[in-house]
Amino acid sequence: MSHTTHDSPPDSKGGAIQRAQQLVKQQLADVEATLRHLPDLQPAELREAVERIVASGGKRIRPVITLLIAGMLGRLDNPRVVDLASAVEMLHTATLVHDDLIDGSLVRRGAATLNAVWTPAATVLTGDYLFAVAANLAARTESVRVMSIFADTLGVIVAGELQQQFTDFALRATRDDYYRRIYSKTASMFVLAAAAAGVICDATAAQITALHDYGRDLGIAFQVMDDVLDFTGEQASVGKPVGSDLRRGLITLPMICYIEAHGKEGLECALRGECDPQTYDRIVAQIRASDAIASSLEEADAIAQNAKKALQGFPDNPYRATLIDLVDYTLERTN
Ranges 177-186, 232-241, 287-296: which has the least confidence: 232-241
What's residue 107's pLDDT?
63
Convert the pLDDT of each residue in 87-118 to its tens digit: 999 999 888 887 777 766 666 665 667 767 77
Q: Is residue 293 part of a domain?
A: yes
Cα(2)–Cα(38) distance, integer angstroms: 46
> Which are the contacts of 177, defined by CB distance < 8 A and separation ≥ 6?
167, 171
Q: By percentage, how much of the chain surpasses pLDDT 90?
A: 63
Q: Is residue 331 part of a domain?
A: no
Helices (H), the chain: 15-23, 25-36, 44-55, 61-72, 79-103, 114-117, 120-139, 144-166, 169-172, 175-182, 188-200, 205-232, 235-238, 244-247, 253-262, 268-272, 277-288, 292-309, 318-332
Tell me if 3 is assigned to some domain: no
- At CA 253, angle to CA 251 and CA 258, rounded to 5? 90
pLDDT the model gives residue 240? 62
Task: Identify which of 265, 327, 267 has the alpha carbon closest to the alpha carbon of residue 4.
Answer: 327
Q: What is the pTM of this model?
A: 0.90
Is 8 inside a domain boundary? no
* Plot region of 246 (φ>0 → left; ψ -120 to 50 → alpha; else → beta): alpha
Structure confidence at residue 12 as a pLDDT band (50, 70, 90): very low
CA distances from 319 to 66, 199, 287, 303 (A): 11, 17, 38, 21
**Amino acid 112: pLDDT:** 67
Q: Is residue 69 part of a domain?
A: yes
In whole angstroms, give the CA distance from residue 296 to residue 323: 23
Judge whether residue 296 has pLDDT over 90.
yes
CB 90, CB 130: distance < 8 Å: yes
pLDDT at 111 (0 to 100): 65
Q: Is the peptide bond before 43 cis (omega within 30 degrees of 0)?
A: yes
Label residue 7 by pLDDT band (50, 70, 90): very low
**Given this model, what pLDDT does residue 156 score?**
96
- The pLDDT, as a whole number, for residue 258 is 96
Number of domains within the chain: 1
Residues 28-66 pLDDT 10s: 999 999 998 877 777 777 777 778 778 776 789 999 999
pLDDT at 155 over 80: yes
What is the pLDDT confidence band of residue 259, given thresholds at 50, 70 and 90? Answer: very high
In a domain, 288, yes or no: yes
Model pLDDT, residue 333 = 83
**Average pLDDT score over residue span 133-138:** 95
- Residue 121 forms part of a structural domain: yes
Q: What is the CATH number for 262?
A: 1.10.600.10
pLDDT attached to residue 124: 83
Strand, helix or coil for residue 136: helix
As a whole number, mean pLDDT of residues 177-198 equals: 96
Beta bridge partners of 108: 111
Taking all residues of the chain, what is their mean pLDDT, rounded to a whole number? 87
Structural domain including 115 reads: 15-323
Strands 111-112 and 107-108 come out as antiparallel
CA distance 313 to 307: 12
| 239 vs 159: which has the higher pLDDT | 159
Query: Which residue did the predictor score with more confidence, 126 or 112?
Result: 126
Q: Determine, yes or no, domain membership for 2.
A: no
